[in-house]
Amino acid sequence: MTDFLLELRSEEIPARMQDKAREDLARLFAAELDKAGLKAAEIVTYATPRRLALIARDLPAQTQAVSEELKGPPADAPDAAVEGFLRKAGLTRDALETREVKGRATLFAVIDKPGRATAEVLAEAIPAIIRAFPWPKSMRWGDASISTESPRWVRPLQGIIALFGDDVVPCAVAGVESGAATVGHRFHHPGVITIGSASDYVEKLRACHVIVDQNERRATIALGAKLAANMAGLTLIEDEGLVSENAGLTEWPVPLLGRFDEAFLDVPPEVIQLTARVNQKYFVCRDAGGKLANAFICTANIDAADGGERIVEGNRKVLAARLSDARFFYETDLKVLLADQAKKLEKIVFHEKLGTVADKVDRVAKLARWLAEEGIVKGADPDLAERAARLAKADLVTGMVGEFPELQGLMGGYYAAAQGEAAQVAEAIRDHYKPVGQGDDVPTAPVTVAVSLADKLDTLFSFFAWGLLPTGSKDPFALRRAALGVIQVLERTGSRLPFKAALELHGWQAVYQRVFDDHAYQQDFLHHYFSSEQLEEERFSDWFERSEDGLWTFARSEAGGRLSQILLDFFADRLKVQQREAGVRHDLIDAVFALGGEDDLVRLLARVKALQSFVGTEDGANLLAGYKRAANILKKEGYDTSATSVIPAQAGIHGAASAGGEMGSGPRGNDDAVDEPTAYDPDLAEAALVGALDVAEPAAREAIARQDFEAAMAALASLRAPIDSFFDQVTVNDADPDKRAGRLALLARVRAAVHGVADFSRIEG
Of 179, 160, 59, 40, which Cα lies nearest the Cα of 118? 59
Please state the closest distance from residue 193 (CB atom) to other proteins, in A. 17
Of 231, 224, 230, 228, which Cα lies nearest the Cα of 246? 224
Identity of the residue, 397 or 591, whose beta carbon is nearer to other proteins in the bound complex: 397
* Residue 15 touches other proteins, criterion: CB under 8 A: yes
Quick one: which H or E segment has residue 167? strand 167-168
Of 712, 721, 724, 691, which Cα lies nearest the Cα of 756? 712
- What is the distance between the alpha carbons of residues 577 and 509, in angstroms, rounded to a whole number? 30
Please state the closest distance from residue 469 (CB atom) to other proteins, in A. 26
Please state the closest distance from residue 236 (CB atom) to other proteins, in A. 18
Please state the closest distance from residue 368 (CB atom) to other proteins, in A. 25
* Residue 313 touches other proteins, criterion: CB under 8 A: yes
* Residue 186 touches other proteins, criterion: CB under 8 A: yes
**Which is it for strands 51-59 and 172-173: parallel, antiparallel or unpaired?**
unpaired
* Residue 358 touches other proteins, criterion: CB under 8 A: no
* Residue 140 touches other proteins, criterion: CB under 8 A: yes
10, 133 in Cβ contact below 8 A?
A: no
Using CB under 8 A, pick the residue from 100, 112, 143, 545 that binds other proteins: 143
Using CB under 8 A, pick the residue from 48, 118, 275, 315 that binds other proteins: 315
* Residue 192 touches other proteins, criterion: CB under 8 A: no
Identity of the residue, 309 or 537, whose beta carbon is nearer to other proteins in the bound complex: 309
Using CB under 8 A, pick the residue from 87, 102, 137, 539 that binds other proteins: 137
**Which is it for strands 176-179 and 157-164: parallel, antiparallel or unpaired?**
parallel
What is the footprint of other proteins within residues 200-219 (CB under 8 A)? none
Q: Give the Å distances, CA to CA, from 757 to 592, 614, 712, 751.
A: 8, 12, 7, 10
Using CB under 8 A, pick the residue from 145, 197, 670, 678 that binds other proteins: 145
Q: Give the Å distances, CA to CA, from 667 to 422, 466, 615, 678.
A: 68, 54, 31, 5
Identity of the residue, 18 or 45, whose beta carbon is nearer to other proteins in the bound complex: 18
Using CB under 8 A, pick the residue from 19, 62, 127, 141 that binds other proteins: 141
Identity of the residue, 399 or 682, whose beta carbon is nearer to other proteins in the bound complex: 399
Please state the closest distance from residue 151 (CB atom) to other proteins, in A. 12
- Secondary-structure percent of the chain, ordered helix, strand, coil, rounded to 5: 55, 15, 30
- What is the distance between the alpha carbons of residues 537 and 737, in angstroms, rounded to a whole number? 64
Of 364, 361, 589, which Cα lies nearest the Cα of 487? 589
CA angle 16, 20, 22 (to 5 degrees): 115
What is the footprint of other proteins within residues 106-135 (CB under 8 A)? none
* Residue 304 touches other proteins, criterion: CB under 8 A: yes
Of 488, 412, 482, which Cα lies nearest the Cα of 443? 488
Please state the closest distance from residue 312 (CB atom) to other proteins, in A. 8
Q: Is 336 exposed, middle or buried (0-12, 13-18, 19+ CB in 10 A)?
A: middle
* Residue 158 touches other proteins, criterion: CB under 8 A: yes
* Residue 349 touches other proteins, criterion: CB under 8 A: yes
Identity of the residue, 302 or 566, whose beta carbon is nearer to other proteins in the bound complex: 302
627, 751 in Cβ contact below 8 A?
A: yes
Provide the H-helix boundaries in 539-640: 543-558, 564-581, 586-593, 601-615, 618-636
Of 6-14, 459-467, 558-566, 599-607, which segment contacts other proteins by CB under 8 A?
6-14
373, 516 in Cβ contact below 8 A?
A: no
With H, G, I as helix, E, B as strand and everything else as coil, classify residue 760: helix
Strand-by-strand arrangement of the 66-74 sheet: 66-74, 104-113, 97-101
Of 64-72, 96-104, 295-303, 589-597, which segment contacts other proteins by CB under 8 A?
295-303
- What is the distance between the alpha carbons of residues 29 and 59, in angstroms, rounded to a whole number? 13
* Residue 273 touches other proteins, criterion: CB under 8 A: no
Please state the closest distance from residue 291 (CB atom) to other proteins, in A. 24
* Residue 193 touches other proteins, criterion: CB under 8 A: no
Please state the closest distance from residue 17 (CB atom) to other proteins, in A. 8
Identity of the residue, 15 or 624, whose beta carbon is nearer to other proteins in the bound complex: 15
Using CB under 8 A, pick the residue from 20, 259, 343, 347 that binds other proteins: 347
* Residue 62 touches other proteins, criterion: CB under 8 A: no
Binding-residue total with other proteins (CB under 8 A): 51
Of 359, 570, 599, which Cα lies nearest the Cα of 484? 570
* Residue 49 touches other proteins, criterion: CB under 8 A: yes
* Residue 305 touches other proteins, criterion: CB under 8 A: yes
- What is the distance between the alpha carbons of residues 727 and 44, in angstroms, rounded to a whole number? 65
With H, G, I as helix, E, B as strand and everything else as coil, classify residue 572: helix
Please state the closest distance from residue 165 (CB atom) to other proteins, in A. 30
Please state the closest distance from residue 458 (CB atom) to other proteins, in A. 21
Using CB under 8 A, pick the residue from 197, 199, 273, 280 that binds other proteins: 280
Please state the closest distance from residue 391 (CB atom) to other proteins, in A. 20
Q: Which residues contact other proteins (rule: CB under 8 A)? A: 11-12, 14-16, 49, 137-148, 154-156, 158, 186-187, 249-250, 280, 282, 298, 300-302, 304-306, 310-311, 313-315, 317-321, 324-325, 328, 347-349
